[in-house]
Structure 1
């Protein structure tokens, strides 16, 4: 693992878990079982600095659990949940994941894609059901990284909160873990203002290198390992 200064604010991270606190697939890794994780989402996952936090999840968990985790980054820049549902078999089911992180709410909210909050939930519901049809024990984690878009990114997403709320509704329905960065960004904005916030998400959506390695990766890892 590369030596990065980590700002861990997991105590402030809003995590809803209706099952045992620790991720099931992390428990299996601890027992020495080989497991596959797919991260499926937008440019937050795939473009620019996005792959850095996905890679760090693999590095950290494999260092701790003796290389038993395989991670696939199946995100797509500019993609949304409709694309995610349409390509789910090839992108996700083909590698038979034991755990799946879904991250599409931020692009579902982009007005030009014409995806309503209801359709966003329907598409995400489809992906949850399909992966569980393949593997009833598959773990699904809903991830919300971008909650405070800035400038043009905000103009493109005037109703983002409704899409985030849809993820929380699905988490309740299926008893899923949801990792929502809203409290972390709220705290940073309150203490350091927009300028400080941009050190982590330069446009309120896409991460800087610092944001990927010091904020997103360690907090997601902590959430998976402890549920806190």
Structure 2
């Protein structure tokens, strides 16, 4: 079974308002052996929604090699954006099925929309998809309640039930498949508020477990699979993080609470403790040091004279500024925390927040601030947002007719140098954008691995549904120069800082 994100296996039964339906066109085509492209299009509930990955995992397990699921969601976006970006985010993917959900953000007051505007936008998207491919299956979805933000708040939603009812109306009129999540979430909210908050902490964005329990089984059942019994949604090894075990709440009194075991978190905690404050550092996982102790040991220096304070103390005690051992970095961080008298609590996953003084958010993603209802943006702001001359995209500087492969002439086409053969997997046909233009993208997340060729090495399994063709572009890069011999400690200036970094 294809693993997603976490190490637990959730057995979920579809016992919701959406009952198992006849097979969808998507599933019928897959059972006939036809390859299918599925595009998920919507708000942050799609862009960052675990349901997309979970659905993809199940479909790829049931129909290996036949399904490509594309997540084209946009965080913080509404249907007006959906219409404007439909061509490059949906139509150019040549989809056989499209999931659409924008209603939860169409109701956000700051967009100054209405149910009528949202309906017109939705019908425009549906019409354009059908014109491009009359056989494309369109699935509409209602989502979560989104009712935790008061009037006047950046994310306050108005008339959300009317927007959801509009989706139901459009689905009926167009004979479209509707997956109506909203009643299920409302029923849970009324029945068990504590469980609801566990599954969807801000009443808008479901957690990984919330999707696996409340959304993915409903989607699979509506598509016509999983009706024979419990649906297994794997969220297992290899893992991003392991869920914390159930434990009794404990009170920790302190002057300063730092959330995030990153280098910034360690630094803030050590300095606060050295100033005589009783300090607690809470780390999301079982480590401290963030990227510095997690594999990113090639420090970007810039001007070496700009490094000072605790950072310079750390590098001085470590004995070097770059290319150091990850384990040595974490050991030193732990020693500095112990010397300063900081209490370190590991595997602390944020559940809820009661605002207090002297709390520091040192997470990479700003989890604590988001829990505190601090407004935020996802992606790069356009240059016009705050009149920042260096804001937005920089394509004229960073994309000067070369690929990000160390300026090597690596062909992006299936048949090298033949555009008619099409592009290799994972290469986007979207335009990069104009200089200064904003976007809703985040920097790619990836894993840095410590590999070994020693006898005691631990093998990692081949993932279910693994398709080596997805990595043809990387293979071409690695094999570009037949004279290069790749080794675990390979590092050559021309290639060590490109898409592949291999260091001791």
State the alpha-carbon separation in 2 of the partners of residues 13 and 227 from structure 1.
15
Q: Deviation at 1:227?
A: 10
CA-based RMSD of the aligned residues comes to 2.2
The farther-off stretch of 108-117 and 215-224 is 215-224
Q: What are the residue-to-residue correspondences of 1:38-187 with 2, within 5 Å?
A: 38-47=39-48, 50=49, 52-152=50-150, 156-187=156-187
State the alpha-carbon separation in 2 of the partners of residues 151 and 38 from structure 1.
30
Contact 1:146 1:205 in 2 (8 A): yes
State the alpha-carbon separation in 1 of the partners of residues 62 and 207 from structure 2.
26
State the alpha-carbon separation in 1 of the partners of residues 29 and 39 from structure 2.
16
Which whole-Å deviations, capped at 9, do the CAs of 1:95-124 have from their partners, x for residues lacking one? Answer: 110000001000000011011100101000
Q: Deviation at 1:25?
A: 1.0
Change beyond 3 A, Cα 1:22–1:152: farther
Q: Which residue of 2 aligns with 1:212?
A: 211
Q: Secondary structure of the residue that 1:102 maps to in structure 2?
A: strand
Q: Secondary structure of the residue that 2:22 maps to in structure 1?
A: coil
> Any stretches of 5+ residues in structure 1 without a counterpart?
none
1:21 correspondence with 2:60: no
Between structure 1 and structure 2, the one with the greater Rg is 2
Q: Secondary structure of the residue that 1:4 maps to in structure 2?
A: strand
Q: What are the residue-to-residue correspondences of 1:32-43 with 2, within 5 Å?
A: 32-43=33-44
Q: Which residue of 2 aligns with 1:12?
A: 16
Q: Deviation at 1:148?
A: 5.0
Contact 1:41 1:102 in 2 (8 A): yes
Contact 2:42 2:102 in 1 (8 A): yes
State the alpha-carbon separation in 1 of the partners of residues 218 and 158 from structure 2.
27
State the alpha-carbon separation in 1 of the partners of residues 18 and 148 from structure 2.
21
Q: Secondary structure of the residue that 1:33 maps to in structure 2?
A: coil
Contact 1:4 1:214 in 2 (8 A): no
User: What is the number of equivalent residue pairs in this alignment?
Assistant: 220
TM superposition score normalised by structure 2 = 0.42
1:190 correspondence with 2:190: yes
Q: Deviation at 1:187?
A: 3.0
Q: Deviation at 1:91?
A: 0.5
Q: Secondary structure of the residue that 2:12 maps to in structure 1?
A: coil
Which whole-Å deviations, capped at 9, do the CAs of 1:65-84 have from their partners, x for residues lacking one? Answer: 12201000000000000000
State the alpha-carbon separation in 2 of the partners of residues 98 and 144 from structure 1.
21
State the alpha-carbon separation in 2 of the partners of residues 14 and 166 from structure 1.
18
> Any stretches of 5+ residues in structure 2 without a counterpart?
228-504
State the alpha-carbon separation in 2 of the partners of residues 59 and 149 from structure 1.
31
State the alpha-carbon separation in 2 of the partners of residues 137 and 5 from structure 1.
34
Contact 1:6 1:218 in 2 (8 A): no
Q: Secondary structure of the residue that 1:77 maps to in structure 2?
A: coil
Q: Deviation at 1:181?
A: 1.3
Query: Which has the larger share of helix?
Result: 1
1:203 correspondence with 2:207: no
